[in-house]
A and B are shown apart, each in its own frame.
Chain A
Amino acid sequence: MSKLLVSPSPHIHSKDSTKSLMLDVVIALIPAVICSVVFYGWQELLVLGVCVASCVLLEWAITKYMLKKPSTIGDLSAVITGILLALNVPYTTPWWVVFVGAVVAIGVAKMTFGGLGQNIWNPALVGRVFLLVSFPTYMTTWSKPQGLFGVDAVSGPTPLGAIQEGLMQGSTVQELTSAYDYKDLLFANLGGSAGEVCALALLAGFVYLCCRKVIKPWITLSIFATVALTSLIFWVINPARFTDPLFNLLTGGLVLGACFMATDYVTSPMSVWGGVVFGVGIGFLTVMIRYFGSYPEGVSFAILIMNSVVPLLNMWFKQKKFGRK
């Protein structure tokens, strides 16, 4: 009797093509990785190392001992999850906290749902949000970049955190943003996660992936456009309370989130229009959380919320089938 394999979308057909896609993503992430290690030093390298190693090890162990299936670490998706999670946490995070994050990202968000292709939520983000809730002091203590061999970490709020705190104290946005130079935001002289500080390196990687046709740019572009447009509207109405669009585009994990996390194959819509709506939702939610929510940063939550909506988007915006009008 022949076996009919029925599985949920998206369908990844052969391990080899998955691997080559993932390899391209790893290559695209290399500039950001190098950038963050140069800025944050050996501690960032440690975080990256522990994260990637834990993710790979956990996936191998779970597939071998719990699922009793052949190992899937060869497709490099665990490596990517590891890199992305590491880029999202402060470089001063202790190794065991990073390990817990990896357990949640791989064990809970990915393998519990059935492995690659079956998860609903972006594993790296689930891990990151879990850590944010579980270890708030480690995860909200952002230290300024130290350079390759720096030792003393001076902690301070990220630009977004400073804005939120300042607003609660009654300062206006103009007073607060005058402390920051946009050049600094782009080239990372301020505290923040590695994802925040290496915007140019990340954008370079994104362009590479678009050229290689690994990802289509509409999700990312619609996120940027929506963030810019929404924050523009609010900023024009009340510049003392709301930060301007350029500030919003450059701070927080937006560049990392838009380029690498929202575009994850498994957790994003398949069709073009589905992707655009997805991007619009993420952009809008990010701005809302930043302006009105309790957390200074909203990209992680926005992406996770929109991940939940993806099955619906896939249903509403069906991909064009060959042979049909």
Chain B
Amino acid sequence: MTYSARTLSWSAGLTALLVAVVVASAALGPVRVDPTTVALSILNAIVVPSSVTSGSATVPVFGVGVPTPSFQYTSIFAFDVPNTHQIIVADIRLPRIALAATVGFALAAAGTVMQGFFRNPLADPSIIGVSTGAAAGAVAAIAFPMLVPFGSLHLSAFAGALLTAFLVYSIATEGGRTPVATLLLAGVAMQALLGAVISYMLVHSGDSLRQAVVWMMGHLSNSTWGDVAFALPVTLVGVLVLGSYTRDLNVLLLGEEDAHHLGTEVERTKFLLLAVASIVTAAGVAVAGVIGFVGLVVPHIMRLIIGPDHRILLPTSALAGASFLVVTDTIARAGPAEVPVGIITAFVGAPFFLFLLVRREVNSV
């Protein structure tokens, strides 16, 4: 079977799995809703913009007030569903599930790229300090809101993540070349440094300590459609860009010199992969905090199942990551007391990873 047929069939299967997982997850919780109702509620929640009017709100552009377009949305479907159930599913559970799927998608895709890029089985999306940078930005915004110019937790975390990635890349680059080993070491050092900064801020965070710690553990509670609107577009565009570089990723597995001889512009490709993977990771981490193991374990499992070809591995890992995080977040919120999802992913992911290690299934990228 050609790789494109394999990609299509695997992606279709994993998309179906994701849909099933989403429906199951939306059915679970303190109020049990039967899956049919869930499915109909979800369909009811699908809206399309029906008309655009020149809205009353204006934004200043070069000093001139320009009216923003305002969209009217219409539901496509109008199935008969009890109103309480419709609200529980579409307004309470669905945003959280959608965010879990988005963040899982982003982290698994970025993890796949980083592992291939670094040719290192220990690589995860945060290897060059993106998550630590996001945490530093977020903790700063939580503990010292007056010091952070954006005021927004998301933007502060996002900016911290990208700033860190950029710093690490700049430090590791010399004379137009960025050796992967230097990049790894610079990432480790930067994480240690930022770890100290975060600890310092936590010590002086006073009443906001709990909020900061929960953020850092990774959380999806109180998710809104606004969070999804922040993370989803960045993730989709980023993963699409990464998807166009999957052949280069394959060639890079042969080593940088071979990749050069096979026509890959090595340094430019490395920069682009690193930048886009970092942006995708940052988008996920900024809204959901530091959620570990998704970006490490999911690509490994998918690689075991379908092999090292990034043309198939990237889309399937991303889809599997989405399902994985939806499932773990369902466990996190469906228990008697809600726990941060990062705890669950580590609790599920780490033993499974150790099991694979013991079986010697995972020993290379």
Chains A and B belong together in one complex: no
Interface on B for A, CB 8 Å cutoff?
none
